[in-house]
Structure 1
Amino acid sequence: MNTVADWDPRSPDMQTDPIGAYDVMRQRCPFAHSDALQLSVLRHADVMRVLMDPETFSNQASRRVSVPNSMDPPEHGLYRSIIEPYFDAMRMAQFAPLCEALCEKLVMQLPMDDEIELMSALAHPFSLQMQCAFLGWPDTMHQPLHQWVRHKNAAVLSGDHDDLAAVAAEFDETIRTLLTSRREAGDEAPDDATTRLMRETVGGRPLTEAEIVNILRNWTVGELGTMASSVGIIADYLATHPQLQQDLRDQPSLIGAANDEILRIHAPLISNRRRATRPVCLGTETLQAGDRLSVIWASANRDEAVFGDPDEFRLDRDPALNLLYGAGIHACPGAPLARLELRAIIETLLSQTIGIARIPGRPPSADTYPSSGYCTVPLHITRRLPKPTTAAPAQPRLQLRCA
């Protein structure tokens, strides 16, 4: 495979307008080489070919095993069958009331009529509180998790494998402490997703602690950064499209589909890795067994050959074409949870406000690779006045008569 670099996804030029840069790369060089991502696959059809052929394009492409993301069949299916019930319709229905209550609390803490920086005021607290609530983790985990995500992204950006290993070890130790406390509690341990996961079996044996920690790390990595990015992307899009903002207030049943379409236009997740298991031709490229490649969601979901004008917002698109949550056997099992949480926070934000707008002269600032979306989103919000509480029936006044 050709190893001459065509681009650097970490370069300053790429960070200024990453989505626009991926559009240019897709037109100029749909198979692009870089030190960071090896062969990048940018067109929708080529990405779909990779996703739908796991025998040729293996998920075992990372230095660290990720359960079940970096596994192939049949091992992948064994672990996937354990994980999927955590995101089924029953579990989502059970979690929905808590999810909606947390969203209302977060939005009601925003100022009534003022400027905010949405990422720090809402997006990051939202992703941290939702993750801890779903897994049953204490609120004291919010800040350590936020710092951990920052450390992980910095290590990925630098490409320092020692730093990445240290960040992973730091997270693992934190989770082991939580698991130890549940074991010590015995039957008194909280009945939450973490405790239930500790009781799972695979192939007739209990999950090992390393496997439990790995699954929890995988869920957390996939949740925190992308969910915060998603909230920032959607809120800024609505701020620049006031008619859509009002339409969704009037028809909240459309919010879920609108979220998916906005995140197709501006991806919250850049890429995933694969590894060729045999010699194979992919478009103009010839790969050998062991060659690594990356599917670029942020490009494939904007491919003109599939979506026409990639910036056109439409709710009548075929949802199967949207790769927001992947496709094939490795499609994101947590998609139902992500959709529930995003629908709840955006519906709450819209129902509790009468206006969301950008602040003149203060556009959002793009986040840096490997993150997508924005690191800051300055907005002006105008919250609805709280509804007056129904007063108790007035008691008849004592009538005084004057002589």
Structure 2
Amino acid sequence: MANNSRKADWNPRSEEALKDQISTYDTMRTQCPVAWSDYQHWTLFRHGDVMRVLEDHHSFSNAASSHLSVPNGMDPPEHALYRQVIEPYFSTQAMSEFEPTCRNIARQLVDTLPSGQPFDVVDLFSRAFALQIQCAFMGWPDSLRAPLREWVLKNHHATLSGDRQAMADVAHEFDGYIHDLLETRRQAGANAPKDVTTSLMKETVNGQTMTDEALTSLLRNWTVGELATISASVSILLNYLSEHPDLMHSLSIDTNALSDAIDEILRMDAPLMSNRRVTTRDVEMGGKSIPAGEKITILWASANRDEEVFGDPDAFSPQQNREQNLLYGAGIHVCPGAPLARMELRVLMEEFLAAVDTLKHAPNEQAERAVFPTGGFSYLPMIIEKN
């Protein structure tokens, strides 16, 4: 059990840390790479320590939550059974079939962006894209977009506050949406829509159809991960390209370089800040003794900027850094939806770059960074000029 009387090494929720999280993490990585706090418990800042956790399934468990989490919160061998079910939904063929829908959504959304006047990238572009693309991929009705948008905001506020009752209420609200989606398909029977959600309802694990509890957990994890990280990724990408117009110009000419460039930009500025693990035995890390049963925060936002692995963390080197980039994790728990996320971001940026000549921060407007546990921006005012 966590010892709440121990002295904190840092305060991840201090005003200074939240004002510039990247700089704070860079400093902690060199000064106290394994740090205790009441909020994050044991935080790992270095790439090597994170890789150790990802590879040592006997010492570090994914079952860090008291609630069912499919498949994120599962360990081998149970984890592998669910991954076998999930991975075909993100196959090369599945991505090729979904890409035209994705491109149509991206193109229409880019077309709606105002030219020559300020707009909030988060509200009009990144969050809108994440909501539309998630509903399209899952086969959910457009009418669910607005409730999901509000739900994402509630989920973020509840997580940020650490209010367990609020978090439970938000989870219950989402479960209600999923229950309705599943019930609608059951009542439709053979006339149920032929989509990802209907297909998942027919999947079996160890010869048994997935329970509604498992299905709801799986769909909740997919939705939280997709909506939060895709939205954060888009805001990060546009912010970076606005500050590097030469790169934006070169990528608009050579879109073959776009996929690696996206991964590299998101290495430097993480859309997904962290994940959790729990120790199953006493371990030594970074000169610290961590007892069994302690929660570990894997801080992707720091590990992916480790100077010992990447040199200058802000140097744009896509090919050089590709193999060590932990944007989608590593090992057996690498994000199963990575092919979908990569395709969605590539297609969106292809459509954006094809339509936009210039991208600049709106004058006299101040962007606002999102704060842990969310990456990216909460407000990003920009001006584009379309061609």
Q: Bin the TM-score by the shorter chain.
A: over 0.9
2:225 to 222, 226, 235: 222
Cα distance in 2 between the residues matched to 1:116 and 1:43:
37
Indicate yes or no: 2:287 matched with 1:284.
Answer: yes
- Structure 2 partner of 1:253: 256
Q: Which moved more, 1:78-87 or 1:156-165?
A: 156-165
2:304 to 301, 304, 309: 301
3-state DSSP of counterpart to 1:113:
coil
After superposition, residues 1-400 of structure 1 pair within 5 angstroms as 3-384=6-387
Deviation of 1:153 after TM superposition, in Å, equals 1.1
Q: 1:363 to 1:311 in 2, by over 3 A?
A: farther
Deviation of 1:359 after TM superposition, in Å, equals 2.2
* Equivalent residues of 1:157, 1:370 under 8 A apart: yes
Which letter maps to 1:230?
Answer: S
Cα distance in 2 between the residues matched to 1:276 and 1:151:
30
Cα distance in 1 between the residues matched to 2:11 and 2:180:
39
Give the count of matched residue pairs.
384
* Larger-Rg structure: 1
Deviation of 1:198 after TM superposition, in Å, equals 0.3
Q: CA RMSD of the aligned region, Å? A: 1.1
Indicate the structure with greater helix content.
Answer: 2
Percent of aligned pairs with the same residue?
48
Cα distance in 2 between the residues matched to 1:69 and 1:316:
29
Deviation of 1:248 after TM superposition, in Å, equals 0.3
3-state DSSP of counterpart to 1:368:
coil
Deviation of 1:170 after TM superposition, in Å, equals 0.7
Cα distance in 2 between the residues matched to 1:280 and 1:17:
31
Deviations 1:31-88 (A, max 9, x none): 1111111000000111111111122110011122210110100111111110111111
Which letter maps to 1:45?
Answer: G
Cα distance in 1 between the residues matched to 2:57 and 2:331:
8
Which letter maps to 1:179?
Answer: L
Runs of 4 or more, structure 1, over 3 Å off, are: none
Normalised by the length of structure 2, the TM-score is 0.97
Cα distance in 2 between the residues matched to 1:184 and 1:217:
22
> Which consecutive residues of structure 2, in runs of 5 or more, have no partner in the other structure?
none
* Equivalent residues of 1:38, 1:294 under 8 A apart: yes
3-state DSSP of counterpart to 2:318:
coil
Deviation of 1:361 after TM superposition, in Å, equals 3.8
Normalised by the length of structure 1, the TM-score is 0.93
Cα distance in 1 between the residues matched to 2:113 and 2:156:
28
Which letter maps to 2:327?
Answer: L
Deviation of 1:6 after TM superposition, in Å, equals 1.7
Cα distance in 1 between the residues matched to 2:332 and 2:120:
38
3-state DSSP of counterpart to 1:226:
helix
3-state DSSP of counterpart to 2:119:
strand
* Equivalent residues of 1:10, 1:157 under 8 A apart: no
3-state DSSP of counterpart to 2:129:
helix
Cα distance in 1 between the residues matched to 2:183 and 2:7:
49
Cα distance in 2 between the residues matched to 1:10 and 1:325:
25
Which letter maps to 1:325?
Answer: Y
Deviation of 1:114 after TM superposition, in Å, equals 2.1
Deviation of 1:158 after TM superposition, in Å, equals 1.1
Deviations 1:195-252 (A, max 9, x none): 0000000111111111111110010011001110000000010001000000001101
- Structure 2 partner of 1:391: none
Deviation of 1:113 after TM superposition, in Å, equals 2.4
3-state DSSP of counterpart to 2:10:
coil
Deviation of 1:15 after TM superposition, in Å, equals 1.6
Which letter maps to 1:270?
Answer: M
